Amino acid sequence: MIVLALDAGTEAIKAGLFDEQGQLLAAGSRKYTTYFPRPGWAEQDPAEWWDGLVGAVRDCLAASPVPASAIKGISADATTCTLLPLDAAGQPLRRALLWMDVRATEQAGRIFQTGHEALRYSLAGVSAEWMPAKLLWLKENEPAIYQQTAHLLEYTDWIAYRLTGRLALNRNTITQRWYYHQPSGGWPLDFYATIGLDDLAAKFPADILGIGDVVAPLSAEAAHTLGLPPSIPVAMGGGDAFVGLLGLGVVEPGDLGVVMGSSNVLSSLTTDEVHFPGIFGSFPDAVIPGLNLVEGGQVSTGSILNWFKRNFAGDLIPQAEHLGVSVYQLLDDEASRIPPGAEGLIVLDYFQGNRTPHTDSLARGVITGLSLQVTRAHVFRAVMEGIAYGMKDILDTFIQHHCPVSRVIACGGATHSPLFMQIYADVIGQPIDTTRVTEASLLGSAIAAAVGSGLYADLTEAARAMVSISGEYQPDAERHQQYQFYAQQYRELYHQLRPVMHTVTQHVVSS
């Protein structure tokens, strides 16, 4: 049995065909544009999403060794809290607000000040990335669009809608980003009313589905456009990083998955519902029914490396093309000659704010320790180390609040860099496993599709059958000890520089 998986990330959408053992048979990918109209703003055009989806699927089918008629299930994941308002006819009213958009910082602060019980998920502060802050901004700054909004969807839900014609919300994202809390009855209507969004719930589709639940059959129109047979079951997906947990085999308490992309998302599972400052969650039934998801995250990780490459490594492009390697590999080669700690250079990875443990949308990136001996290699290594310090900060917060981490499993772009992965392992002081299929979100969507098609009874069974561990990075004890000094300075820097960062960011935003 073959399933089609879709993974709609920040920079591109990918399509993959998988067999029942989780082997990737064919893939396709198309990029789309992110628009940054103002500092802290980020938007995408759903017309470009659809063009990319169609192109990626058709590319995948063209590369496939099996016919389209063999496909028995479809599912998609997408970036989390990328919000799209639709009118009554189901048409987009504006470009989508991308997950990394933090224009609603002021609204997030006001929401946090209410101290409402619904804020159990975000005790350190409300993120400007999340739905209530963004929709409050929309209501206050684009009231005509807010009033015309008949249906509010996540990117994931929009894909399901375009494939089937059915409007529904995925339980994964509304639990994690919309303050939905199933044990206490679902929607926190009193919370929405308290923050000035008393009319918001009327804009929610009525149907709520879990990961792997069947949305509807693939519509004839979508099937024709994609080159697929109609009536294939389309299963509901969720946020890319959390569907990626399935693709990492994270299905038991103590497992921690790290999805390394433009941002890093760290997630583990617990049997009990727990809430404490410095995390997001815990989110009941958000991925595996009966378990709670505990989440931490870094807003900017791979996106910082991309920023560095784009602005400071243009001279390496001809060499990389001549050697048939990536520019990142050449940067790694340079950075590998710099000792741990980058000779005193420390980077705060808050280029788009801090997600956890501080939940600070006004924080910004910092490079400290610059001297005239510093080279590009120093800065690039310090960027990787700073990102690893941020990951350690989150892991330490988990452990301090009795959320044990017995196994770390990683996927995503960083796993293609042995240097970066070794830095991660050395900084956190724990082994890091990697999987055979590095695109865990894509595999996670395949797992959801396999459940929706009836191939497996549930997500746990499907993940155990379709995920394989292929590698491990062991920490070096000496380097781990060296990094403890720098990791502590990384923590201190935030607290010392927080007032300055806030003052400057607020000045820029208001000017």
Q: Can you list the alpha helix ranges (DSSP code H) found in 261-301?
A: none
**Residue 37, CB half-sphere, CA atoms under 13 Å: how many?**
11
Whole-angstrom distance between the N-terminal and C-terminal Cα of the chain? 57
Buried-state track 286-306, b at ≥16 Cβ within 10 A, e below 16: bbbeebbbbbbbbbbbbbbbb
Please give the pLDDT value at position 85.
98
CB atoms within 10 A of CB 504: 13
Question: Strand pairing partners for 264?
Answer: 260, 298
Read off the pLDDT band of 180 (50, 70, 90).
very high
- Full domain range(s) for residue 81: 2-248+435-471
Read off the pLDDT band of 282 (50, 70, 90).
confident
Closest of 194, 208, 199 to residue 117, by C-alpha? 194
> What single-letter DSSP state applies at residue 219?
P
State mean pLDDT over 107-125. 92
* CB within 8 Å of 371: residues ≥ 6 apart: 344
Tokens representing 184?
Answer: 């206490």
Question: Is 17 among the domain residues?
Answer: yes
Question: What CATH number is given to the structural domain containing 96?
Answer: 3.30.420.40
Determine how β-strand 264-270 pairs with β-strand 233-235: unpaired
Positive or negative, the CA dihedral 311, 130, 168, 44 is negative
DSSP string spanning 238-253?
Answer: -BHHHHHHHHHT--ST
Read off the pLDDT band of 160 (50, 70, 90).
very high
Amino acid at residue number 452: G
State mean pLDDT over 281-286. 90
> Do residues 56 and 30 make contact, with C-beta atoms less than 8 angstroms apart?
yes
Question: Is 426 among the domain residues?
Answer: no
> What single-letter DSSP state applies at residue 154?
E
Matching residue, tokens 């499993």: 409
> Do residues 268 and 256 make contact, with C-beta atoms less than 8 angstroms apart?
yes
- The rounded distance, in Å, linking the Cα atoms of 364 and 77 is 29
Question: Is 282 among the domain residues?
Answer: no
> Do residues 51 and 211 make contact, with C-beta atoms less than 8 angstroms apart?
no
State mean pLDDT over 270-284. 87
Please give the pLDDT value at position 281.
80
Question: Is 507 among the domain residues?
Answer: no
pLDDT digits (tens, 9 = 90+) for 384-438: 999 999 999 999 999 888 888 889 999 888 999 999 999 999 999 999 999 998 8
Closest of 459, 436, 437, 435 to residue 448, by C-alpha? 459
Amino acid at residue number 211: I
State mean pLDDT over 100-121. 94
Q: Can you list the alpha helix ranges (DSSP code H) found in 93-239?
A: 105-113, 131-141, 143-148, 155-164, 171-177, 189-194, 220-226
Examine the pLDDT at 511 and tell me if it is beyond 80.
Answer: no
Question: Is 324 among the domain residues?
Answer: no
Q: How would you class 344 by CB atoms within 10 Å of its CB: exposed for 0-12, middle for 13-18, buried for 19 or more? A: middle
> Do residues 109 and 115 make contact, with C-beta atoms less than 8 angstroms apart?
no
* Structural domain total, the chain: 1
Please give the pLDDT value at position 278.
85
Matching residue, tokens 């109209």: 37
Closest of 281, 237, 239 to residue 259, by C-alpha? 239
Amino acid at residue number 328: Y
Question: Strand pairing partners for 4?
Answer: 17, 74
Read off the pLDDT band of 53 (50, 70, 90).
very high
Question: Is 455 among the domain residues?
Answer: yes
Question: Is 52 among the domain residues?
Answer: yes
Examine the pLDDT at 344 and tell me if it is beyond 80.
Answer: yes
Residue 110's SS3 state is helix
Please give the pLDDT value at position 61.
98
Closest of 333, 327, 326, 355 to residue 105, by C-alpha? 355
pLDDT digits (tens, 9 = 90+) for 191-226: 999 999 999 999 999 999 999 999 999 999 999 999
Question: Is 253 among the domain residues?
Answer: no
- The rounded distance, in Å, linking the Cα atoms of 71 and 2 is 5
State mean pLDDT over 446-457. 98
3-state helix/strand/coil string of 343-358 = HHCEEECCECEECCCC
> Do residues 9 and 444 make contact, with C-beta atoms less than 8 angstroms apart?
no
> What single-letter DSSP state applies at residue 468?
-
Please give the pLDDT value at position 403.
87
- The rounded distance, in Å, linking the Cα atoms of 279 and 293 is 11
Amino acid at residue number 209: L
pLDDT digits (tens, 9 = 90+) for 302-324: 999 999 999 999 999 999 999 99
The crossing angle, in degrees rounded to 10, of helices 459-466 and 440-452 is: 130
Please give the pLDDT value at position 280.
84
CB atoms within 10 A of CB 199: 13
